[in-house]
Amino acid sequence: MGRISRPTPQFPYSKGLMPQEEMLETGRKNKRITIGIPKETDATECRIPLTPEAVEMLVDEGHEIIIEKGAGNLANYTDTDYSERGGQIVESSQEVFKSEIILKVAPLILKETEYLNEGQVIISSLHLNSSAGQYLRNLMQKRITAIAFENIHDQDGAFPLVRAMSSIAGSTSILVAAEYLSNVNKGKGVMLGGVTGITPTEIVILGAGTAAEFAARAALGLGAMVKVFDDSIKRLNDLQNILGQRLFTSIFHPQVLERVLRTADVVIGTLSPEEIKGGFIVCEELVKKMKKGSVIIDLSIDKGGCFETSEMRDNSKPAFVKHNVIHYCVPNITSRVARTASIAMSNVFSPLITEIGEAGGIKSQLKDDPGLRNGVYIFNGILTNDYLGRLYNIPSRDINLLMAAF
């Protein structure tokens, strides 16, 4: 008889004897993060990035929040409010700057950059002032990763911090305009808005973004006549749809803009030089043609401003007169309503920190989150913002290419 071959046993439901691929853990690893919140060095900056309620939530998640003594006072949050919710109150800013992530509203001043250690992360705003070039070089020397929170966007492409602050700034700008039109602040003595039998005040808004939307909404609510300029027909159309009514709208046609500025009572600028590809929307010659006692409010002064006559001021001396026109050019106008602004900021920062912890750290989160990555202007000591590189003559590299190496 020939040899009978026996079939190899099959185990259709069991793979125990078969070689298997190694299963690697793909879950996100939670990491305990130390966040430092220093007291703002600018006495007119009243906001704080995290409220006591947000601190409590983050501490419950295992994070450590170190807060300099008195950091929340100007927003009417006491040290006790924070300590009772798990925040650690320290006496000096040097202790705060030992943290892994420094969370701050205003950019660090040059002296504060001396406290930094190599490899730390800074999340703050970015102001383009006379010391910005040296500020960038100091961060690069310390191999810092710096994130401008105004450039962080979400999955829908919207900028949550910008929208929150712009909505507050837009509404507040109308309240500021009303103050400086009144004779209490040596204005014309005109009420912002309109009443029966009296021609309403004329508000001109440059730009049709979020700040413009809320400024227009507030002005219309007071009865003012609103005119909006923008270089995008789509944005102008969207603004009218959002507000639910027809407005005077125009692109930036020089003759139309000049005619409107001659009769305007208030002009609010919301566009930065970066958005309009350099230069100013309103030159000094146009300002000279405006009515005596009219008011200019430059909401983009922190980016260089959109009026040639703008000069950056602070809340201690916020206004000045040039060519008989009152100028209000304060970069942190939302500090006038510091508690509201702090809550709005905290609503964005607290989930962001939670996501960074769940990702296992900032670098892991940057790899997975293009929105956060968009806010990076220095990564590990390398400038990644082309606009800043050209402005301050510093070589820059693409953040997406750099992330591929990590």
DSSP string, 162-196: HHHHHHHHHHHHHHHHHHHHSGGGTS----SS--T
Strands, E assignment, 270-310: 295-298
Q: Which of 277, 296, 331 is the last residue of a domain?
A: 331
| Structural domain span for residue 294 | 163-331
Instruction: Judge whether 289 lies within some domain.
Output: yes
Identify residue 28 by its one-letter amino acid code: R
| % of the chain at pLDDT higher than 70 | 91
Instruction: Judge whether 7 lies within some domain.
Output: no
Could you tell me if 167 and 109 lie in one domain? no
Could you tell me if 136 and 170 lie in one domain? no
**Of 230, 265, 298, 302, which one is the catalytic site residue?**
302
Half-sphere exposure of 264 (CA within 13 A, CB side): 30
214, 170 Cβ separation under 8 angstroms:
yes
Strands 202-206 and 295-298: unpaired
The pLDDT value recorded for residue 304 is 80
Q: Which of 299, 331, 363 is the last residue of a domain?
A: 331
CA end-to-end span of the chain: 67
Cβ-proximal residues to 190 (8 Å cutoff; 6+ apart), any chain: 181, 182, 201, 265, 293
- Closest to 204 (Cα-Cα) out of 274, 284, 275, 270: 270
Instruction: Judge whether 24 lies within some domain.
Output: no
Strands, E assignment, 25-75: 34-37, 64-68
The enclosing domain of 105 has a CATH number of: 3.40.50.720
Instruction: Judge whether 89 lies within some domain.
Output: yes
Could you tell me if 322 and 381 lie in one domain? no
Could you tell me if 137 and 180 lie in one domain? no
CA 221: distance to chain centroid? 26
d(C-alpha 73, C-alpha 158), whole Å:
31
Query: Which residues does the chain have with pLDDT short of 70?
Result: 1-29, 273-279, 406
Could you tell me if 80 and 167 lie in one domain? no
Q: Which of 297, 331, 365 is the last residue of a domain?
A: 331
Could you tell me if 54 and 198 lie in one domain? no
Could you tell me if 181 and 321 lie in one domain? yes
β-bridge mates for residue 207, sequence order: none
The pLDDT value recorded for residue 87 is 97
Q: Whole-structure pTM over 0.85, yes or no?
A: no
The pLDDT value recorded for residue 59 is 97
Task: Please name the residue that has the structure tokens 């060519």.
Answer: 323
Q: Sign of dihedral through CA atoms 126, 132, 137, 142?
A: negative
Could you tell me if 306 and 247 lie in one domain? yes
- Residue 398 annotated as catalytic: no
40, 71 Cβ separation under 8 angstroms:
yes
- Closest to 227 (Cα-Cα) out of 261, 273, 198, 277: 261
Could you tell me if 170 and 281 lie in one domain? yes
Instruction: Judge whether 192 lies within some domain.
Output: yes
Find the length of the chain.
406
Number of H helices, E strands in the chain: 15, 15
Q: Residue-wise over 368-393: b if at least 16 C-beta within 10 A, else e?
A: ebebbbbbbbbbbebbbbeebbebbe
Q: In the sheet where 376-379 sits, what is the strand order?
A: 88-90, 64-68, 34-37, 101-103, 121-124, 145-148, 376-379, 382-383
Instruction: Judge whether 6 lies within some domain.
Output: no
CA 192, 194, 200 angle in degrees (round to 5)?
A: 85
Could you tell me if 240 and 381 lie in one domain? no
**Of 127, 153, 230, 327, which one is the catalytic site residue?**
127
Task: Please name the residue that has the structure tokens 């942190």.
Answer: 332
Instruction: Judge whether 41 lies within some domain.
Output: yes
Instruction: Judge whether 307 lies within some domain.
Output: yes
Secondary structure of residue 369 in the 3-state scheme: coil
d(C-alpha 271, C-alpha 210), whole Å:
11
- Closest to 311 (Cα-Cα) out of 132, 129, 166, 170: 129
The two tokens of residue 119 are: 């490899």
Q: How many structural domains are present in the chain?
A: 2
Average pLDDT, the chain: 89
- Residue 302 annotated as catalytic: yes
137, 382 Cβ separation under 8 angstroms:
no
Could you tell me if 79 and 104 lie in one domain? yes
Could you tell me if 283 and 187 lie in one domain? yes
d(C-alpha 305, C-alpha 329), whole Å:
8
